[in-house]
Structure 1
């Protein structure tokens, strides 16, 4: 079986181009291939018989998709293996299917809105909740054109086994990037109070074994009171990557903390998803 590749959603937008460049850099450093995927727009179909106008619209959409993919290929360094796919399904359906065979799915995001948030689309939400591999939403720091290449990797750690996948991804990414890793655990309580011994012990338990597996990664263990989303957003402003679980911090299918970070973090966000068994 061939090694899983990085799958990138291509739609011709500036956000998708930023994500493509980020993914191409990651693929080059790690010796992985890229698979660029464009899903055809969902055109209303005629009923009950085929309509020549509808068929023409489909042909135009396919031609535009082929052009987008060709333009995207030109952005990929020559040493990176690249393949393309023009898929007839809706974007979420196509990328969810691609996630079964991918190392990760990389998506672009719109620029931040005036209130410091982006409007998450249905594709991002669907993949973050249901993909069979990690999903990365790529965006730069405020005022920058490209995502950050310096700073720590930050991971949110809660008290459930669900955060184990996030921890694994965070250590791997920190090792690849030669970056410091900040592991944050938030406990309920009043802001400003000292962390409890129990909270520090829980964080140590969740991280047990990982420093030995990645001896090159320097880990800062941080326990803070307050809401996880607020604390993680503070750290994301200076990070090159933020890793969170799709569940945890409340146990929802896509937790409120994860959604807040996907909308507001000023760095690329990895939503940890376990690969298909």
Structure 2
């Protein structure tokens, strides 16, 4: 257990997914013995169209009243779910992304709700969630609302996708700690991209032994996990090596998992493939809560207080 004194911050907007995120965050705050911070932002962006009309102040007042009502609703839900968890409530005014990024600077986790889309039964991460996953100063958890047939299990393993990047080490650190907190197993999925090897072998008129390569990668992964397994001896670990992009396998596993953890490469502005294709896929389609753990400026692991 980390003993991290920083609070868990959850965004409150009254949506079904945000209320679900409040419940998830309250349970996590209990596990970590930290404060639950409920935040609602009176978003000035959609109010800009009436900024210069005579009753603008009245519009803001009504929006603030609504925000206080939503915070009370979230507070009551959290108290009912986790009565021992201490809470704080914050009504802010400005931009949602801007304020939640600020709040993340002194948080252990930032938890957001995302809504499912259409009949495909997979979530679509909105622009605010993508922005915060890219720029927040702590790991970001995305929790979707559900219909009954899409409900993920409350028990099951933690699934983490890893590659050879600092963000993957940060994701591993988070995943092992979370598995220990929840007293569950961990499934580590490593992607083997052997396209260049295949091309080189083909040009040399030779055939690549895929079995041997996968065996080598599995052993390398086992060696990489040895230190983590020593630190967390009670966490059972399953290793999976997949060829190509691992998103499909991650999503299949996530349907039966408590939590999916991925690393993100972003440090600066949201340009190009900030998270990489795998993180983008799982953010867009995972059924269970998803945690994005970025590589930070000072080290390969996220700040823990």
Tell me whether the two structures share a fold, i.e. TM-score over 0.5: yes
Which residue does 1:240 correspond to in 2? 258
2:218 is equivalent to residue 197 of structure 1: no
User: Unpaired segments of 5 or more residues in structure 2?
Assistant: 196-209, 267-271, 295-301
Q: Secondary structure at 1:88's aligned position in 2?
A: strand
Which residue does 1:255 correspond to in 2? 276
Q: Distance in 2 between matches of 1:102 and 1:19?
A: 16
Q: 1:276 Cα deviation (Å)? A: 8.6
**1:170/1:212 CA distance change after superposition, 3 Å:** same
**1:115/1:211 CA distance change after superposition, 3 Å:** same
Larger Rg: 2
Moved over 4 A (4+): 144-147
2:286 is equivalent to residue 265 of structure 1: yes
2:249 is equivalent to residue 231 of structure 1: yes
Which residue does 2:103 correspond to in 1? 98
Computed over aligned residues only, the root mean square deviation of the Cα atoms, in angstroms, reads 2.4
Structure 2 matches for 1:66-215, cutoff 5 A?
66-77=68-79, 78-139=83-144, 143=148, 148-189=153-194, 193-194=210-211, 195-215=213-233
Kept in 2, the 8 Å contact 1:92–1:126? The answer is yes
20-29 or 10-19: bigger deviation: 20-29
Q: Distance in 1 between matches of 2:147 and 2:77?
A: 23
**1:150/1:79 CA distance change after superposition, 3 Å:** same
Kept in 1, the 8 Å contact 2:75–2:87? The answer is yes
Return the match for 1:55 from 54, 57, 66.
Answer: 57
User: Unpaired segments of 5 or more residues in structure 1?
Assistant: none
Q: Say how many residue pairs are matched.
A: 271
Kept in 1, the 8 Å contact 2:114–2:145? The answer is no
Which residue does 1:44 correspond to in 2? 48
Q: Which has the higher helix share?
A: 2
Q: 1:271 Cα deviation (Å)? A: 0.4
Kept in 2, the 8 Å contact 1:139–1:147? The answer is no
